[in-house]
Structure 1
């Protein structure tokens, strides 16, 4: 079974993702990261919501600055491996957050284009 990153890397990743979320999606009250079997599962919380929104899953590659990326698909409740805008299957953990990954993973319909509407509501 793949191992989780050391505690210091986990702390660093949490900081990086929370900082990026504050820049890109200030409407999120927090971003939570839990580690399991070599993956970092990232969820976001909206103010007033009890239930966290699954956003993505990062695959630990053994290097702090390089993670694989899978987007959470609300349509089927599963994670789907994705390529980053660089065309590579792995990269900086912040990279997916620059391409509307979090907003797409919530409950968006294809006809919704706002990158700030995390619930997919009009």
Structure 2
């Protein structure tokens, strides 16, 4: 069994999948709430395209490196394909050009940091906690 099973799929190794405290961003009303709540706690929005390989790769890296609790940050997930209107409104409300993937950090009602593509994983969220 051993080696051949591993090579040809006998026993599959179980990997523990890290789950983040994502809050689905699926209603326009949430944007006002995010802005308001950012006075108390930093709010983070991760905009993601489910059809984009780069977006998926960046999301996997983001997940593997994320190490904050729900007490430190609120982490919103925006599926831009399903909620394009919300994605457009995010750009309008926070005055930035749409990109995907894209990370927004909101504090005290203001966009304090944003990044897209590979730069997302270089944003030091510790600075905003």
Interval containing the TM-score (normalised by the shorter chain): 0.3 to 0.5
Task: Report which of the two has the higher share of strand.
Answer: 1
Task: Select the structure with the greater relative contact order (CA < 8 A; seq sep ≥ 6).
Answer: 2
> So what's the TM-score if we normalise by structure 1?
0.33
> So what's the TM-score if we normalise by structure 2?
0.31
